[in-house]
Amino acid sequence: MYDPTVARLTYRALLGRRRALILGALPLLLIAISIVVRALAGADDQTASDLLGGLALATMVPIIGVIAGTGAIGPEIDDGSVVYLLSKPLKRPTIIFTKLIVAIAVTMVFSALPTFIAGYILNGNGQQIAVAYTVAALVASIAYAAIFLLLGTVSRHAVVFGLVYALVWEALFGSLVEGARTLSVQQWSLAVAQKVAGGDMVKSDVGLTTATVLLAVVTVLATWYAGQKLRSLTLAGEE
């Protein structure tokens, strides 16, 4: 289910000079803001939780997921180079699964690690806030990578749709509109973070069991459907 050659090519595409600069911009901004906030306000648990929840988990993680998930396959479909990949004796689910693993790894590195660093700067991991939001970022990275990889497979405008989802649904509706929170990856990952923190600093509107099930179902279904779409793309090309 995992092909090293496909993985190497995908890493090379995702971590090219221009895309790497884009991936690194938000994490650097988060860390810079954390340093300024710590210098001005000192170590405060509530401030740390608000910043990590509002900027890191609600904005940075989904945007990085968009870049990594859509970038893992979208450009190859757009420029037609995917045909060469599909001509190899590889099962289509293997291609999708390999690209998903790469997208997850890139999203985790560029989101979870900066989240932990920012959290440690803000309050030294008081009340396990830095660790809780890091775990949330890790969990969210998996679901986001799968969702945006699917978008990259089914649409030529995946980046636009992905950014709309990340900035409008997750960052806005997922934080403010009560009914939308149940269908938000952000809230699902917050449920995991709430369990890790164990206090009142991290809260979610979704129960842990429900969140875990939904994270797993969305990830599996998105990955499966992306494989099906890639299979139909191959058949269309052959016809």
- The string of pLDDT tens digits covering residues 159-178 is 899 888 888 887 776 666 66
Q: What is the mean pLDDT of residues 206-219?
A: 95
Does residue 130 surpass a pLDDT of 90? yes
Cβ partners under 8 Å of residue 235, min gap 6: none
Q: What is the DSSP letter of 157?
A: T
Q: What is the mean pLDDT of residues 215-228?
A: 95
The per-residue pLDDT for 176 is: 66
The per-residue pLDDT for 3 is: 86
Q: pLDDT-based confidence at 181, cuts 50/70/90?
A: confident
Using a pLDDT cut of 70, give the percent of the chain over it.
Answer: 94
Q: What is the rounded CA–CA span in Å between residue 178 and residue 218?
A: 20
- The string of pLDDT tens digits covering residues 36-90 is 999 998 889 999 999 999 899 989 999 999 999 999 998 888 777 787 788 878 8
Instruction: Measure Cα distances from 9 to 85, 139, 203, 225 in Å.
Output: 10, 25, 39, 22
The closest of 95, 63, 94 to 76, measured between CA atoms, is: 95
Q: What is the rounded CA–CA span in Å between residue 99 and residue 54?
A: 29
The closest of 37, 52, 46, 34 to 200, measured between CA atoms, is: 46
Whether 6 and 85 have beta carbons less than 8 Å apart is answered as yes
What dihedral do alpha carbons 64, 69, 71, 77 form, nearest 10°?
A: -160
Tokens of 115: 């989240």
DSSP letter for each residue of 64-89 = HHHHHHHHTTHHHHHHSTHHHHHTSS
Does residue 138 surpass a pLDDT of 60? yes
- The string of pLDDT tens digits covering residues 85-117 is 888 788 888 999 999 999 999 999 999 999 999
The per-residue pLDDT for 195 is: 93
The per-residue pLDDT for 84 is: 79
* Residue with the larger pLDDT of the pair 175 and 124: 124
Does residue 238 surpass a pLDDT of 50? no
Q: pLDDT-based confidence at 235, cuts 50/70/90?
A: very low
What's the burial of 167, exposed, middle or buried (CB within 10 Å: 0-12/13-18/19+)? Answer: middle
The per-residue pLDDT for 239 is: 39
Q: What is the rounded CA–CA span in Å between residue 110 and residue 6?
A: 21
Q: What is the DSSP letter of 156?
A: T
Q: pLDDT-based confidence at 217, cuts 50/70/90?
A: very high
